[in-house]
Amino acid sequence: MSFKTLITLATLALAVVAVPTKRATCSNGRTTAHASCCVWFDVLDDIQENLFDGGECGEEVHESLRLTFHDAIPFSPKLFLQGKFGGLGADGSIMAHSEIETAFHANAGVDEIIEAQRPFAIKHKVSFGDFIQFAGAVGVTNCAGGPRLEFLAGRLNVSLPAPDLLVPEPR
């Protein structure tokens, strides 16, 4: 190995070592990319224990996964083009305005999981929209062969009720 190559390798090694780590250490000792994400470790522990019965792949997990879809799918560019409100997708509106959205025919049965989830979101002060997607992503990891879904936080906790007829029916 030439001296020049050695110097280049040493410089690279130093550069790697010198890269500043932005990771934050949370109160429970776990680390994450940013301190604002620490709350999700608390939510994780709480829902695995108290919503998903100790990390099971039970009915709360199935219902939570379904809820991610029923909150997110009402988003209609067509309605917007007509000058009407077309929903804002995964915005937590199904929980914030559950009295309206659970009355939609296609949402039959989602009321139970909404009521089960809501206190966790309120307790941890995270938005309904974030909570619904997080619970779905965590839940499927409890199921054998389930995927590890990416979760992105940051949804506002402000929403309008989605319009009816945007959640597809089986037919």
**Straight-line distance from the first to the last Cα atom of the chain, in angstroms, rounded to the nearest whole number:** 69
Give the β-pairing of 24-25 and 31-32.
antiparallel
151 sits near ligand HEM (criterion: CB under 6 A)? no
Residue span 67-106 as binding mask against ligand HEM, x where in contact by CB under 6 A, dash where not: -xx-------------------------------------
Catalytic positions: 70
Q: Which long-range contacts (CB under 8 A, 24 or more apart) does 142-147 make?
A: 142/48, 142/52, 142/55, 142/56, 142/57, 142/61, 143/57, 143/61, 144/57, 146/57
* CA–CA–CA angle 127, 116, 29 (5° rounding): 60
Tell me which of 26, 41, 62, 97 binds ligand HEM, using CB under 6 A.
62
| Selected range binding ligand HEM among 22-30, 38-46, 66-74, 119-127, rule: CB under 6 A | 66-74
Tell me the backbone φ, ψ of residue 164, rounded to 5 degrees.
Answer: -70, 165
56 sits near ligand HEM (criterion: CB under 6 A)? no
Residue span 1-40 as binding mask against ligand HEM, x where in contact by CB under 6 A, dash where not: ----------------------------------------
| Selected range binding ligand HEM among 58-66, 85-93, 144-152, 157-165, rule: CB under 6 A | 58-66
Q: What is the dihedral of CA 112, 113, 115, 118, to 10 degrees?
A: 180
Residue 151 CB, shortest distance to ligand HEM, in Å, is 14
Q: Provide the token pair at 34.
A: 């940013």
| Nearest CB to ligand HEM, comparing residues 68 and 102 | 68
63 sits near ligand HEM (criterion: CB under 6 A)? yes
3-state secondary structure of 31: strand
Sequence-ordered list of residues with C-beta below 8 angstroms from that of 164, at least 6 positions apart, any chain: 104
| Nearest CB to ligand HEM, comparing residues 63 and 91 | 63
Binding site for ligand HEM (CB under 6 A): 59, 62-63, 65-66, 68-69, 109, 168, 170
